[in-house]
Amino acid sequence: MTTQESSGGPADGRQSGADARISPVFRSLALESIPVPDYADVIVLPVPAGCPTDPRLWADTVFSLGSMPAWIRLLMGLRQRAVGMIGIRRAPANAFAVAEVRGEEALISADDAHLDFRCGVALDAGARLLRITTAVRLKGWRGRLYFAPVRVLHPLVVHAMMARAIRRLSRH
């Protein structure tokens, strides 16, 4: 949905007079190899002026155990113990390692028997926005079963991790 569509403007993308607004447009590395995901979300949070602009630093900080609130570390631990019951291997220690950095975005990429996962962590320094784009391709019943609770919790978890990383890096 564009900004215009949500504000009652023309749905065809034409801008009209005083109601003309700029619609955000972005690309993400997360959607390059999974252009039609089974699940996708984009979480955007503002960052204070003067924060670092290195997308790898942002990705590493967002996904570091030190940036994860205790309740998220608990959920990750439960995940590690529970997945074996449905035949999914435990995530390796480097599951959230940055695979590639291009421009203002770092890509985390993981393919497994039950799903393919992409996460783009981008910092738009000009707009002072941190954006995390997630794309997931599910594989078989194990992927669907595993992802059912993740689908519900994912936006909350990502938002909390981003907020914690912003607090940590704003003191950087």
Query: What is the per-residue pLDDT across 77-87, written as a single tens digit (0 to 9) for each?
Result: 888 888 878 78
Residue/partner pairs of 60-66 with CB below 8 Å, 24 or more apart: 60/98, 61/165, 61/168, 61/169, 62/121, 62/132, 62/161, 62/162, 62/165, 63/96, 63/108, 63/161, 66/168
Which residue has better confidence, 12 or 51?
Answer: 51
Structural domains in the chain, CATH included, are 29-170 (3.30.530)
Report the alpha-carbon distance of residue 49 to residue 54 in Å, rounded: 14
SS3 78: helix
List, for residues 116-161, the tens digit of each pLDDT value. 999 999 999 999 999 999 999 999 999 999 999 999 999 999 999 9
pLDDT digits (tens, 9 = 90+) for 93-110: 777 899 999 999 999 999
Q: Which H or E run contains 101?
A: strand 98-102
- Cα–Cα distance measured from residue 110 to residue 104, given in angstroms and rounded to the nearest whole number: 20
